[in-house]
Amino acid sequence: MKNILVLCTGNSCRSQIAEGYLRHFAGEKAEIYSAGIETHGVNPRAISIMKEDGIDISKHTSNNIDEYLDIDFDFVITVCDNAKEHCPIFPTKAKKFHHNFPDPAKAKGTEEEVLEEFRQVRQMIKDYSQQFVSDNLF
């Protein structure tokens, strides 16, 4: 079984969404973790838009990268440029991947416009996660 870490700035939106989809697509082939270089709590809108797609992330917690320093990761995926630039050095063989997804938490407008931005980012992360699993776990 592979260990995968998804790393973001605050572990509230993008990394939480990616954790949900990677768990869904990887099944028993990987243990998925997500963390931030800070912790901001799981964004309620991220929980809501994932529920729309049948993925429950309501029990996820916002974790700091320091909590996982003793895990030997096979893959580390950074989902924002800030996390990539500030990612701590892991004493690991982990293969690193990076994709800078827009931060839906910074969306402005009406509630529906903000939710639509969340949905767009969700779809980007869903597509990326499905491709990642297909390319690296099968």
Return the closest-CA partner of residue 122 out of 38, 50, 65, 60.
50
Strand partners, 77: 6, 97
**Inter-residue contact 53 to 123 (CB < 8 Å):** no
Tokens of 92: 């690991």
- Active-site residue numbers? 8, 80, 87
Return the closest-CA partner of residue 33 out of 7, 5, 1.
5
Other beta carbons less than 10 A from residue 24's beta carbon: 17
Tokens of 82: 């800030």
